[in-house]
Amino acid sequence: MSAKVAVVTGGNKGIGLAIVRALCKQYQGEVYLTARDADRGQAALESLASDGLKALFRQLDIDDLNSVISAAAFFKEKYGGVDVLVNNAGIAFKVADTAPFAVQAEVTLKTNFFATRDMLTHFLPLIKAGGRVVNVSSFVSCRSLNQCSPELQQRFRSEDITEDELVGLMQRFVDEAKTGEHKQGGWPDTAYGVSKLGLTTLSMILARRLSKERPNDGILLNACCPGWVRTDMAGPKAPKSPDEGAVTPVYLALLPPGATEPHGKFVSEKEVQTW
Ligand code: NDP
């Protein structure tokens, strides 16, 4: 039987590296640190090795569909699938960034929503029975939901929203941002917030699909917030260390065998949050 395997995206620094570090200590299987840049990935691997921890490396740029597809093929070939997937990779423009909102919307949605969706499209079929899937979203997904028009809020909270409908709504946000009409369209004025709102909603849709299509496989898929964490993204004033930020994602990644919940939830500080 193949070894168990855990895969973390954006593992070369910040919360992703802390998730890899915690999995190296706690997971009974092989842990893959993936990164879009091989040199940054190798440097991270060496930093773990200097602490006596052993992770494996695989290049993976989630924005590059070929990279996603070839990584999925690699894990299928080598391990027959994946046991734990943590979609951590993400981007955020700095508040001071002067890039036009239209550009920020397109670029942010591309990585945080569309590329993470590509990961899920190509990796979910590989997730083995008993597998765990964790999407690192953010508490701003909840705040952004509450700032949407009542019509949009209703769709994002509904149990019958489909993946296609969600993709259409996320594309609509990008299109309306380009013409400066997103606020009239019922959206909040935050590209990052909408990208994570999309990711949390996608997590709920895919969890419902897993329950329907693979009811006996015991796979648990959730979105979570790591908290406000001191990383290159959030800056030095955030209260949590990366290791503290890794706690909730790792808790979801290591939900014990036979657990039936949480599933399809948004989780913060190890607690299911109201959506
Ligand atoms: P960092 O900016 O420190 O790290 C982001 C990681 O994502 C880096 O490894 C980066 O790689 C990687 N990444 C970005 N784009 C891609 C891509 N296309 N393919 C592969 N990897 C990519 O951020 P954090 O550690 O703070 O954030 C990690 C996650 O946590 C993100 O999803 C973020 O939105 C979320 N989050 C963070 C919070 C915080 O307070 N820090 C709060 C709430 C959520 P590279 O080094 O090559 O750029």
Cα separation, 92 vs 169, whole angstroms? 20
Is there an atom of ligand 1 within 6 Å of 229 CB?
yes
Could you report the per-residue pLDDT of 164-180, keeping only the tens digit for each?
999 999 999 999 999 99
Question: Mind telling me the catalytic residues?
Answer: 192
Tell me the average pLDDT of the chain.
Answer: 98
Binning pLDDT at 50, 70 and 90, where does residue 1 land?
low
Report whether pLDDT(230) > 70.
yes
CA distances from 48 to 14, 36, 92, 243 (A): 13, 18, 26, 13
DSSP secondary structure, 33-91, as one string: EEESSHHHHHHHHHHHHTTT---EEEE--TT-HHHHHHHHHHHHHHHSSEEEEEE----
Determine the pLDDT at residue 238: 98
Task: For ligand 1, say whether the CB of 65 is within 6 Å of any of its atoms.
Answer: no
Which residue's CA lies nearest to atom 31 of ligand 1? 90
DSSP line for 110-123:
IIIIIIHHHHHHHH
Over residues 6-63, the pLDDT tens digits come to 999 999 999 999 999 999 999 999 999 999 999 999 999 999 999 999 999 999 999 9
Residue 186, pLDDT above cutoff 80: yes
Specify the ligand 1 atom closest to the Cα of 115.
18
The confidence score (pLDDT) of residue 2 equals: 73
Mean pLDDT of 151-176: 98
Q: Is 41 in the pocket of ligand 1 (CB under 6 A)?
A: no
How far, in Å, is the centroid of ligand 1 from the Cα of 216?
33
Residue 230 CA: nearest ligand 1 atom is 41
Query: What percent of the chain clears pLDDT 90, i.e. is strictly above it?
Result: 99
Residue with the smallest CA separation from ligand 1 atom 42 is 228
Read off the pLDDT of each residue in 64-90 and give the average, rounded to a whole number: 98
